[in-house]
Amino acid sequence: MPTVTISSNSGFCFGVVYAVEMAESYLAHHPYLYCLGDIVHNDEEVQRLKQKGLRIISHSDLPNLAGETVLIRAHGEPPETYELALRYGIRLLDASCPVVLKLQNRLREIDRPDVQIVLLGKLGHPEIIGLVGQLEKAKLFVVSSPEEVDTLPLEPRKVTYLFSQTTKSPALFAAVAERLLQRCPDSIIADTLCRQVSNREPHLEAFARSQDVVLFVAGKKSSNGKSLFSVCQAANPRSYYISSPEEIVWAWLEGAEKIGIAGATSTPQWLMEKVKSHIEAHFATMVAQ
């Protein structure tokens, strides 16, 4: 029977813990709560909270929610969302992560016409939408790879900054910074990566190496899930990405004596425990046969 271990450096970051606790404490006294977008990029956790009364909505629903209470999740929102809430008399429960709010403030502070900003991130990601919304005067370029930096129409006379979506990997950020400095040597490199994610990488790497097989548990839409999974995979090629226990292919675990379970900052502890129990029950059945 193999040993199954959950990595001690996995599971919710403080930003997600804060948002989920805020939702649960509200729902303890109210029948329902609206949340703008998935509270966390994990379908299982969203389902659990929906059963307690969480109702996921989109921005287009806001005009129909006058007088209601709406939760803003950890990713943060652009100023436009706050203006809409004011216009429609919506009460906001703001669970924007302080790390994201700090980055939004920094962008607002340098929002001038003589500034151009390169932002490492994924277009369309809610955090990026919130960040882009902070800027009115500066020129902004969102990139997802070092190669894209070469194609940007950068203006040599402008002050150039590099920022990053909080959940990107340090290696990718360093590669983008290097490319930008080749083009604009005076660029100001602002490392805005969240340490809740980047500090996990060395631990995760060591954990993945110490296991025969790693099951990485995260939602399909989790940005830091993909980033942290690539760390696992580089350290241990027998790493597999799953979103629920049912996705385990038992052939992956063949011959493994040590099975590791890890997760993203959006992966609830209970889900990793569920994966562990599922594996242990499977092997217990095999022993009994």
- Enumerate binding residues for ligand SF4 (CB under 6 A): 13-16, 74, 97, 99-100, 166-167, 194, 196-197, 265
CA distance 70 to 78: 15
Pick the closer one to ligand SF4 by CB: 16 or 215.
Answer: 16
State which residue has the least CB distance to ligand SF4: 15
Instruction: Check: CB of residue 242 under 8 Å from CB of residue 217.
Output: yes
Pick the closer one to ligand SF4 by CB: 145 or 199.
Answer: 199
Pick the closer one to ligand SF4 by CB: 23 or 279.
Answer: 23
CA distance 22 to 69: 12
The 3-class secondary structure across 152-207, one letter per residue, is CCCCCCCEEEEEECCCCCHHHHHHHHHHHHHHCCCCEECCCCCHHHHCHHHHHHHH
Instruction: Check: CB of residue 23 under 8 Å from CB of residue 40.
Output: no
**Can 77 be counted among the known catalytic residues?**
no
Pick the closer one to ligand SF4 by CB: 182 or 269.
Answer: 269
CA distance 33 to 49: 10
| Residue type at 185 in one-letter notation | P
Minimum CB–partner distance for residue 230 and ligand SF4 (Å): 16
Minimum CB–partner distance for residue 169 and ligand SF4 (Å): 12
Minimum CB–partner distance for residue 222 and ligand SF4 (Å): 10
Beta bridge partners of 240: 215
End-to-end CA distance of the chain: give it in Å, rounded.
13
Minimum CB–partner distance for residue 278 and ligand SF4 (Å): 27
Instruction: Give me the catalytic one of 45, 68, 77, 127.
Output: 127
**Active site amino acids:** 127
